[in-house]
A and B are shown apart, each in its own frame.
Chain A
Amino acid sequence: MNLGFQFLDWNLVSSFILKGFYFSVQLTLFAMVGGIILGTLIALMRLSGHKWLVLPAAFYVNTLRSIPLVMVILWFFLLIPLLIGRPLGAGLSAIITFTVFEAAYYSEIMRAGIQSVPRGQVSAGYAVGMTYAQCMKLIVLPQAFRNMLPVLLTQTIILFQDTSLVYAVGAYDLLKGFEVAGKNFNRPVEMYLLAAATYFVICFSLSMLVRRLQKKIAIIR
Chain B
Amino acid sequence: MSWDWQVFFQDTGGGQTYFHWMMSAWGWTLLVSGCSLVVALTVGSLMGILRTTPVKAFVWIGNAWTELFRNIPLLVQIFLWYHVIPSIWKTLQGVPDFIAVVIALGFFTSARIAEQVKAGIQALPKGQRYAGLAMGLTLPQTYRYVILPMAFRIVIPPLTSESMNIIKNSSVAFAVSISELTFFAMQAQEETSRGIEIYLVVTGLYFVSAFAVNRVAAFIEKRVQVPGMIGSTR
Contact = CB atoms under 8 A, between A and B. Distances in A.
Contacts of B185: 71, 74
B196 A70 contact: no
Nearest to B89: A1
Contacts of A165: 73, 75, 172
A204 B67 contact: yes
Contact of A69 (B168, B199, B202): B168
Given A167-B75, A192-B80, A68 B206 contact: yes
A66 B171 contact: no
Contacts, number: 102
Given A68-B206, A78-B195, A192-B84, A175 B73 contact: yes
B182 A203 contact: no
Contact of A67 (B90, B168, B195): B168
Interface string B123-156: 0000000000000000000000000000000000
Nearest to A193: B84
B186 A74 contact: yes
B75 A78 contact: no
B87 interface: yes
Interface in A117-162: 161-162
B68 interface: yes
B182 A192 contact: no
A70 B67 CA distance: 24
Contacts of B84: 189, 192-193, 196
Contact of B189 (A3, A78, A162, A188): A78
Contacts of A203: 70-72
Interface residues of A, number: 31
B76 A195 contact: yes
Interface in A37-75: 66-71, 74-75
A199 interface: yes
A74 B199 contact: yes
Given A1-B90, A167-B175, A168-B174, A71 B203 contact: yes
B67 to A, nearest CB: 6
A200 interface: yes
Interface of B: 1, 67-68, 70-77, 79-80, 83-84, 87-88, 90, 164, 167-172, 174-175, 182, 185-186, 189, 195-196, 199, 202-203, 206-207, 210
23 contacts: A1-B88, A66-B210, A67-B203, A68-B167, A68-B169, A69-B171, A70-B172, A71-B171, A71-B199, A74-B182, A74-B186, A74-B189, A161-B73, A164-B73, A165-B73, A165-B75, A168-B174, A168-B186, A193-B84, A199-B71, A199-B73, A204-B71, A207-B71
Given A74-B199, A207-B71, 8 more contacts: A74-B185, A161-B71, A167-B175, A175-B75, A192-B84, A193-B80, A199-B71, A207-B70
Interface of A: 1, 3, 66-71, 74-75, 78-79, 82, 161-162, 164-165, 167-168, 175, 188-189, 192-193, 195-196, 199-200, 203-204, 207
